[in-house]
Amino acid sequence: MGELRKFLERAQKQLRLPAHSVTVCLVRDSEIARWNRAYRREARPTDVLSFPAQGERRTGAKRRVSARSFSASLPVSPSGDSPYLGDIAIAPAVARRNAHHLGRKFEDEMRTLILHGLLHLMGYDHETDGGQMNRRECRLRRKLGLA
C-alpha cells in the first residue's frame, strides 16, 4: 500500500491537487458490483468508481459513499483546511483480471485506476467529453511513468 500511497501523492502533485483531497479505498468485487448497480445501473463489478464530495459531477458514480463503509483504505483522509474532492473505490480483484487480460503489470493497473479516478473527481467524463479525459490521462500516464 505504501507504493500506491506514494503514487497517489505524485499524481495529486502533477494535477495540482492538495494533499488529503481524496480517499482511495480498496474493496471486494461484491461491494463495487453493488455500487455499480446502484449508481450506474450496470449489473456487474467494475474496476474503479469515483464518488465526488460536492454533489453530482460527471464521474463514474453519482453519489458519494461514506469511506467508513469501505473494507480497506489507503490512509489518505480529508483535511479540514483543503477542499475534499471525494472517494475513489478500486476493486483489486477486477484490476488483476483486467491487467492480465490487457498484458499489464497489476501494480501499473492499480496506479492507472488511481489516476483515472482522480480525473473523474476533477469533473472529467470520458463517456461524454469527446476524448478530452483520455488525452489528459495519456499525457499524465507518460509523465508518471505508466505509458
Selected residue with higher pLDDT from 21 and 73: 21
| Cβ atoms 47, 98 nearer than 8 A | yes
Domain CATH code at residue 114: 3.40.390.30
Domain that holds residue 66: 2-143
Give pLDDT, residue 101: 96
Give pLDDT, residue 100: 97
Beta strands across the sheet bearing 48-52: 48-52, 86-90, 22-26, 72-73
| pLDDT tens digits along 75-119 | 444 444 558 999 999 999 999 999 999 999 999 999 999 999 999
For residues 38, 39, 41, 43, the Cα torsion angle rounded to the nearest 10 degrees is -60
| pLDDT tens digits along 118-128 | 999 999 988 88
Residue 18's nearest CA partner among 68, 78, 64, 75 is 78
Under the banding of pLDDT at 50, 70 and 90, the label for residue 54 is: confident
The number of folded domains in the chain is 1
